[in-house]
């Protein structure tokens, strides 16, 4: 059996730990304990906790993009793919009992003024997510399912912005109500 990749163990364990506790409240010792590796091995793979944080944002973004496979299903209409993608995110937040929220939103509020590399990675993740939504919106316009005069780029950005606000409120209220309101708005305002 191949030996586990310590670098990957650290990133994976860090995702769960940083998402749950926050960046500043998590020590390198917390990370190595969660990964089950000696503390010294951390610095063999990362120059700093900040460098690890950038990798964690990348891993989280990849995970969030794959949360619902139907988003990539070309047999489904593009607007349904968007709905299902957000519905999967609602389900993930409910399953986590609103304890963690969105790592991108958490790091945005906690680290934007503190860590330029992490801020840039979070910003790039938001941009990639919006670009994926924009692609689906343009496809929906071509198919006549969305008004051709809608600005797909702005609509995609607004969806990401509204989602982040809904997640923050659901975390603060420990309730799915903000997420449900988002889903209703998604259908009534964004995807018509």
Model confidence pLDDT, tens digit, residues 71-96: 888 999 999 999 999 999 999 999 98
**Does 3 reside within a domain?**
no
**Does 59 reside within a domain?**
yes
Q: What is the pLDDT of residue 4?
A: 63
Long-range contacts of 88-97 (CB under 8 A, 24+ apart): 89/64, 89/163, 90/176, 90/179, 90/180, 90/182, 90/183, 92/67, 93/167, 93/170, 93/176, 93/179, 94/176, 94/179, 97/174
**Does 151 reside within a domain?**
yes
- Rounded CA gap, 78 and 93, in Å? 23
Model confidence pLDDT, tens digit, residues 5-43: 999 999 999 999 999 999 999 999 999 999 999 998 999
**Does 168 reside within a domain?**
yes
Model confidence pLDDT, tens digit, residues 130-153: 999 999 999 999 999 999 999 999
The total domain count for the chain is 1
State whether the Cα torsion 114-166-190-89 is positive or negative. positive
Q: Give me the CATH number covering residue 143.
A: 1.10.357.10
**Does 47 reside within a domain?**
no
**Does 175 reside within a domain?**
yes
**Does 13 reside within a domain?**
no
**Does 18 reside within a domain?**
no
Query: Which residue segment(s) compose the domain that 114 sits in?
Result: 54-190
């Amino acid at each position: 059996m191949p030996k586990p990749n310590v670098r990957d163990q650290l990133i994976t364990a860090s995702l769960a730990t940083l998402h749950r506790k926050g960046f500043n409240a998590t020590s390198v010792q917390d990370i190595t304990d969660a990964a089950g590796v000696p503390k010294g091995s951390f610095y063999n793979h990362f120059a700093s906790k900040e460098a690890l944080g950038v990798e964690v944002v990348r891993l989280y973004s990849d995970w969030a993009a794959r949360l619902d496979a139907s988003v990539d299903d070309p047999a489904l209409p593009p607007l349904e793919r968007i709905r299902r993608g957000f519905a999967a995110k609602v389900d993930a937040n409910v399953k986590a009992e609103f304890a963690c929220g969105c790592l991108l939103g958490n790091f945005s509020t906690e680290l934007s003024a503190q860590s330029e590399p992490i801020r840039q990675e979070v910003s790039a993740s938001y941009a990639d997510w919006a670009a994926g939504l924009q692609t689906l919106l343009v496809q929906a316009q071509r198919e006549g399912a969305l008004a051709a005069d809608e600005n797909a780029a702005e609509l995609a950005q607004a969806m990401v912005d509204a989602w982040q606000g809904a997640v923050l409120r659901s975390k603060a209220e420990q309730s799915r109500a903000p997420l449900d309101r988002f889903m209703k708005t998604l259908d009534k305002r964004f995807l018509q």
